[in-house]
Structure 1
Amino acid sequence: MANSDTWLFQIRITVSPEAAAILRGDPQCMHPALRDVLRRHDASLTCQFDAFSDYVNEAERLGPEKYPLYQWTRETIENPEKKARYLRSFTVYVDGDEVYPREIADLLQTELSALAGAAGIERVVKFDSNPANNPQPPKREA
């Protein structure tokens, strides 16, 4: 069994509705301290709602049967309550990657948590890539 050092990690932040509107609309207008943290780590933010919408659009263009999470994702973005939540949730990408080593994730978590409140950040969460800790795609029927 792999130990926790073999897993990769991801940081997600939840921001205020006002901060979400800025980050989705004109990321250059984000809080300067947030911009500094991201720049220091060659990191960027992706709105989870936008990522889900892109996934659904791609699946519909290329064939939903090739996308195991298509139905769940489509239902999620069409649900007003979930849409509101995911519009405020952003994934931190580092060097273009959505998962990265623990050391980077720990630094980002610490630095972003220090900005809570001032930069519109309400919550900072670290996830790992261990399948036992994360929901898995539904099994596809043959």
Structure 2
Amino acid sequence: MGEAWQFQLRISVSAELAAVLRGDPACTSHEALRDVLHRHHASLKCQFDAFADYVSEAERMGPEKYPLYEWTRKTIEAPEKKARYLRSFTVYVDSEEVYGKEVADPLQSELSTLVSDAGIISVSRFDTNPANNPQPPARER
């Protein structure tokens, strides 16, 4: 019997919508998006902000305890990567960043209907299968 992988959805948005959503976590400025998220008990977190939070926590607690600290710090400091991650939002469901197929499928379907609607560019789906995901970089020595 195969493993039951979990999933994560992300949306990419225009720079203009990203600036609005980062300051409006309830998505009140985008009614259709707000309604979809509400129906699925979901919320958004800007990936750049999540990375910056990780770096900040690592610096407070000791970077040696955070294996992705160097990679994450370099990522948010690189202008082209910063621009990309400022426009990418992770979809959390019930405050969880990964969830089952039965949750991801209908949510992805509804979010996909919003693509091209007022700044939503794409909806992406990722799974927890290590074969489908790059492995963390080796620590720099």
Report if TM-score (shorter chain) is over 0.5.
yes
Deviation of 1:22 (Å):
0.7
Please tell me whether the aligned partners of residues 11 and 92 of structure 1 are also in contact (alpha carbons under 8 angstroms). Answer: yes
CA contact (8 A) 1:92 1:98 kept: yes
Superposed structure 1 runs of 4+ greater than 3 Å apart? none
Does the Cα contact within 8 Å between 1:34 and 1:119 map onto a contact in 2?
no
CA distance in 2, matches of 1:97, 1:127: 14
Three-state SS of the structure 2 residue aligned to 1:117 is coil
Kept in 2, the 8 Å contact 1:19–1:30? The answer is no
Residues in 2 aligned to 1:123 and 1:77: alpha-carbon distance in whole angstroms? 22
Q: Percent identity?
A: 72
TM-score when normalising by structure 1: 0.92
Look up the match of 1:50.
49
Contact 1:33–1:119 (CA<8 Å) still a contact in 2? no
Higher helix share: 1
The answer to whether the 8 A contact 1:8-1:129 is kept is yes
Contact 1:20 1:88 in 2 (8 A): yes
Q: Which residue of 2 aligns with 1:118?
A: 117
Please give the residue correspondences for 1:1-142 in structure 2 after superposition, counting only pairs within 5 Å: 2-3=2-3, 6-28=4-26, 29-140=28-139
Deviation, 1:137, is: 1.8
Q: Distance in 1 between matches of 2:126 and 2:29?
A: 24
Tell me the distance in 2 between the aligned counterparts of 1:101 and 1:13. Answer: 18
TM-score after normalising by structure 2: 0.93
* Residues paired across the two proteins, number: 140
Query: What's the Cα RMSD here?
Result: 1.7
Moved more, 42-51 or 98-107: 98-107
Deviation of 1:89 after TM superposition, in Å, equals: 0.1
Q: Any unmatched runs of 5+ in structure 2?
A: none
Q: How far, CA to CA, are the matches of 2:55 and 2:83 in structure 1?
A: 17
